[in-house]
């Protein structure tokens, strides 16, 4: 039988021996083992999906009900359906040759509105390209959505961007950029700057699960964790990166499973449940600001529409698959069930609102189509405070060219 150490020196020797037997490597916290064993990728059985409502709009656990007012819930629903209506009209507009390009948000409306509602208006948003609902919830008017897609004189971007590349400085929504995932390290930098300013603000960065395969995602995740930034990474896992399904994109357990490897708190939510998205984003936002640390939210949803007007998704997925999500598990219908069960919405309300929202969108559409295009001079402004000699030469060359071939340039359609 081993006797207990009889003196402080003996106890100290045992304690030191125990400490030296632990790994002292600076890069990890672990124990030694004497058995050869590789860590299995399925060491845990899938990160669970947090939800508040079932598919019929019933609250599952009353303690998780956000207890939002009737007015707030109606605003959620009207923004989601207005976005849906705008998508249908602008998609058809592109098909008729009126605009050059469009991307719909069908099926992902809950991720937009639920997250946007949980943020503070001062929080900075970095989007990918399928987050128009976030901007709409913040108050971006239909006229400016239309102006951007038509690249007319009212466009805040002065007609320099392709359609759906929205941005609004006043609403803290950074202009969309086409290359995938560039916004992720940019968001980390912005969040670090906000942290250094010691303001009560956060940054939210949206991206799809396809963009998470880009190297920029690694850089953004790692910078934000090591620099302890108030940042919410919001991944819309909608099943497809254009035509590539998730089972060909990664072998691990989705995107949320990557968070712990970077030292980030992570959660997976039902992206078709607007209340689950709201709860998760609200808590992540509160803690990100209070604790100066990043959070990763993976919202599981489904892209019902084609990737864009340049895509035909029938080439890589079945109509039955799309119909299931459109008819059986849609965020809009789920919220409608919730409201109707409480007597907050009726079939008459639905018909009236659909008619009204379509009329509102069509009026904005018609106004945008009639507006002039921006002055061609704007091609050369906003890069330098004063125009440089080489830009002046390019501008003169442009005007000579347009005068020489003026039959091809209907300048009466442009602002003077």
Which positions ≥6 away from 213 have C-beta within 8 Å? 241, 249, 250
The 203-208 sheet, strands edge to edge: 173-174, 124-126, 203-208, 231-237, 295-300, 265-270
DSSP secondary-structure letter at 408?
Answer: G
Residue 373 sits at φ, ψ, to 5 deg, of -80, 160
Which positions ≥6 away from 404 have C-beta within 8 Å? none
Helix (H) / strand (E) element for 300: namely strand 295-300
Residue 335 sits at φ, ψ, to 5 deg, of -70, -35
Q: Which of 21, 100, 122, 178 is catalytic?
A: 178
What 3-state DSSP class applies to 196? helix
Count of Cβ atoms closer than 10 Å to residue 285 Cβ: 21
Calculate the alpha carbon distances from 379 to 113, 167, 181, 211, 296 in Å: 35, 18, 26, 30, 39
Distance in angstroms (rounded) separating the CA atoms of residues 411 and 152: 13
Q: Is the dihedral of CA 396, 397, 403, 407 positive or negative?
A: negative
Given a contact cutoff of 8 angstroms between Cβ atoms, the answer to whether 315 and 278 are in contact is no
The per-residue b/e assignment along 331-347, b for 16 or more CB within 10 angstroms, e otherwise, is bbbbbbbbbeeeeebee
Q: Which residues pair with 265 in a beta bridge?
A: 295
Count of Cβ atoms closer than 10 Å to residue 147 Cβ: 23
Per the annotation, the verdict on 401 as an active-site residue is: no
Q: Which of 266, 307, 330, 357 is catalytic?
A: 307
Per the annotation, the verdict on 92 as an active-site residue is: yes
Residues in the chain: 416
Tokens of 51: 């939800």
Q: Which of 177, 213, 308, 333 is catalytic?
A: 308
Given a contact cutoff of 8 angstroms between Cβ atoms, the answer to whether 278 and 114 are in contact is yes
Give catalytic residues, as residue numbers. Answer: 92, 178, 307-308
């Amino acid at each position: 039988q081993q006797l207990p150490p009889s003196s402080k020196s003996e106890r100290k020797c045992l304690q030191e021996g125990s400490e030296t037997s632990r790994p002292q490597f600076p890069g990890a916290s672990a124990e030694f083992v004497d058995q050869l064993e590789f860590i299995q990728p399925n060491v845990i059985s899938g990160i669970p999906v947090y939800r508040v409502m079932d598919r019929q709009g019933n609250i599952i656990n009353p303690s998780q009900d956000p207890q939002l007012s009737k007015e707030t819930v109606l605003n959620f629903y009207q923004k989601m359906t207005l976005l849906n209506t705008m998508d249908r009209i602008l998609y058809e507009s592109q098909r008729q040759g009126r605009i050059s390009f469009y991307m719909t948000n069908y099926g992902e409306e809950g991720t937009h509105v639920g997250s946007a509602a949980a943020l503070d208006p001062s929080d900075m948003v970095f989007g990918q390209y399928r987050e128009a609902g976030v901007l709409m919830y913040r108050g971006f008017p239909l006229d400016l959505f239309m102006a951007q897609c038509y690249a007319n004189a009212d466009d805040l971007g002065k007609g320099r961007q392709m359609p759906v590349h929205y941005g609004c400085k006043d609403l803290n929504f950074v202009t969309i950029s086409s290359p995938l995932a560039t916004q992720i390290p940019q968001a980390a930098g912005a969040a670090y700057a906000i942290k250094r300013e010691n303001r009560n603000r956060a940054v939210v960065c949206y991206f799809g699960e396809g963009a998470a395969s880009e190297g920029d995602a690694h850089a953004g995740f790692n910078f934000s964790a090591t620099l302890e930034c108030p940042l919410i990474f919001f991944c819309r896992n909608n099943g497809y990166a254009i035509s590539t399904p998730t089972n060909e994109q990664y072998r691990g357990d989705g995107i949320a499973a990557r968070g712990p490897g970077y030292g980030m708190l992570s959660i997976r939510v039902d992206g078709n449940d607007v209340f689950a998205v709201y709860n998760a984003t609200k808590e992540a936002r509160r803690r990100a600001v209070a604790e100066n640390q990043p959070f990763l939210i993976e919202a599981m949803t489904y892209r019902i529409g084609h990737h864009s007007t340049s895509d035909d998704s029938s080439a890589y997925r079945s109509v039955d698959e799309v119909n299931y999500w459109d008819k059986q598990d849609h965020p809009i219908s789920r919220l409608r069930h919730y409201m109707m069960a409480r007597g907050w919405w009726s079939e008459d309300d639905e018909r009236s609102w659909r008619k009204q929202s379509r009329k509102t969108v069509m009026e904005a559409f018609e106004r945008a189509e009639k507006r002039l295009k921006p002055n061609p001079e704007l091609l050369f402004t906003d890069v330098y405070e004063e125009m440089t000699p080489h830009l002046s030469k390019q501008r003169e060359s442009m005007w000579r060219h347009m005068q020489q071939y003026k039959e091809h340039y209907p300048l009466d359609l442009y602002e003077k």
